[in-house]
Structure 1
Amino acid sequence: MNRIGVFGANGRMGLALIEAAHQNNHTELSAAYVRSSSPLLNIAVNQLNSAAPATINFSDERHVDNIDVLIDFTLAAGMREHLKIAVAQNIPMVIGTTGLNNDDMQLLQAAAKQIPIVFARNYSVGVNLLLNLVQTAATKFGDDLDIEIFEAHHRHKIDAPSGTALAIGEAIADAKGWVHDEVAVFDRSRIEKEKSQNEIGYSVLRGGDIVGEHTAYFATSGERLELTHKASSRMTFALGAVRAAAWLKNKPAGLYDMQDVLDLK
């Protein structure tokens, strides 16, 4: 049984991860970490989530012990500190933090030389199947093709486009033999020319409580293919992350993704 520790355990995803750890037959929640300044310190976790064992209280994120795998869906600044803890104690990590910059990715790659890490922008099984499908579409259509990606999330989401949208675009660019950052277009408000067919355009919606919707559009003259994934619950992502945690135990050091966990490569 894998002992799971969850960072940011009082957040929306943190609470979903607690429930997911309870549902998975191969994992058990062993620690729910919050900031050292949190008023929840030493409060029973099951007061916020009844799926948590009655014996577990919210604990200080600086004090990690007796854990097999750590899961982190916090913001980038928190992830950096948690990664240091994991490396210092040689504990595998599952990371779902989005909005990471190049420096953050270099930190992940350096840490993965010492511990096993699963990093994915989306832990949904459906989204990871979608990544395969968009690559097939990108290669089977000809060059006379317009490619666009649309995504929608709740009003509280900070990064835009979402990490998942970027992952879809990167998968398509890889299949087309393009360098993603050279073909991605995020703003056409000052572009006074027609769309190039050697680009991937992004559109974003933020509103209400939308959990997550992503669509890749492949448009040619006379037809259009739309590949869409819609998530109705954060449990979709939480269950995938806990599945990754169960898979990660005893793996050698390295940087893995959900495609590895699902054996889709």
Structure 2
Amino acid sequence: MIKVCLYGASGKMGHSFISESLKDGEVEVTNFIVKSDSKFSNVDLGKDFEELKGKKYSSSPHEAFDLIVDFATADDVFGRIENFKSLKKPVIFCSTGVSDADILTLKNLSSEIPIFIAPNTSIYIGLIQNFLKKLSRMPFNHEIKITEKHHESKKDQPSGTAVELADNLNAEKESIESIREGNDGNWHKIQLISDLEELELTHIASNRTIYAQGALKIVKWFYQKPKNLYYMQTLIEDLYE
């Protein structure tokens, strides 16, 4: 059993990851981390998950674990990175809206511990990114448009995934259009447009379950990997090429 310390455990993605892990059989969340001033601190998880009655949310790990999964918000990323340094455990970092400076600090930390950066844990998104990177190496002169839609409460725009898709195509952030509406579901659309043809790729996520399932796949693949920097691209190339 792979034991996980989950940051952002009380959030929507945290709950989705917990729910999927309870069905999995190979991954167990042993630490449910929230901010020290969170209203969930020291609250029994049995309120939301009957199987976890007696387990509590906490601000720091208190049980053994093999690796960290971070689905917390972009607030106080620096403080969490300092925790990662002291814990010296592999980290799967799934937060979005994180500053370039914090991402650089994480990348540098990969010389000390294994770091997997994945603002989007969908396997299909990983496959699309793999295709776009290959496409970017071909000579073409197309207009690039990237459109993304997320729920109205999502703080960062454009989304981290949209920025990564633009990076895959060596496109500017200005090529991204962001839409914020509704309460659930999201999509990303990539268009390559020329006078003679158009290529369009669309990924639609109906709910968060796909991200939780993708994160579990990452956990199993990433477990016991050596210190280095990893991305969805790394996993895709290893498993599907």
Matched, 1:37 2:25: no
Aligned to 1:184: 172
Aligned to 1:101: 99
Task: Provide the aligned C-alpha RMSD in A.
Answer: 2.0
The whole-number CA distance in structure 1 between the counterparts of 2:233 and 2:38 is 35
Aligned to 1:169: 166
Aligned to 1:3: 3
Aligned to 1:87: 85
Report runs of 4+ in structure 1 exceeding 6 Å deviation. none
Number of aligned residues = 239
Question: How far has the Cα of 1:127 moved from its partner?
Answer: 0.4
Aligned to 1:54: 53
Aligned to 2:13: 13
User: What is the one-letter code of the residue matched to 2:41?
Assistant: L
Give 1 or 2 for the bigger CA radius of gyration.
1
Aligned to 2:185: 211
Q: 1:112 to 1:137 in 2, by over 3 A?
A: closer
The whole-number CA distance in structure 2 between the counterparts of 1:136 and 1:103 is 27
Question: How far has the Cα of 1:143 moved from its partner?
Answer: 2.9
Aligned to 2:140: 143
Aligned to 2:229: 255
Q: 1:157 aligns with which of 138, 148, 154?
A: 154
Paired residues of 2:77 and 2:98 also in contact (CA < 8 A): no
Matched, 1:230 2:204: yes
> Which stretches in structure 2 are left out of the alignment for 5+ residues?
none
For residues 90-133 of structure 1, give each alpha carbon's deviation from its aligned partner in whole angstroms, at most 9, with x where no partner exists: 11111111122221022102221111111112100010011122
Paired residues of 1:134 and 1:227 also in contact (CA < 8 A): no
Paired residues of 1:115 and 1:254 also in contact (CA < 8 A): yes
Paired residues of 1:4 and 1:21 also in contact (CA < 8 A): no
| Percentage of identical aligned residues | 27
> Which stretches in structure 1 are left out of the alignment for 5+ residues?
174-182, 187-200
Question: How far has the Cα of 1:6 moved from its partner?
Answer: 1.1
TM-score (norm 2): 0.90
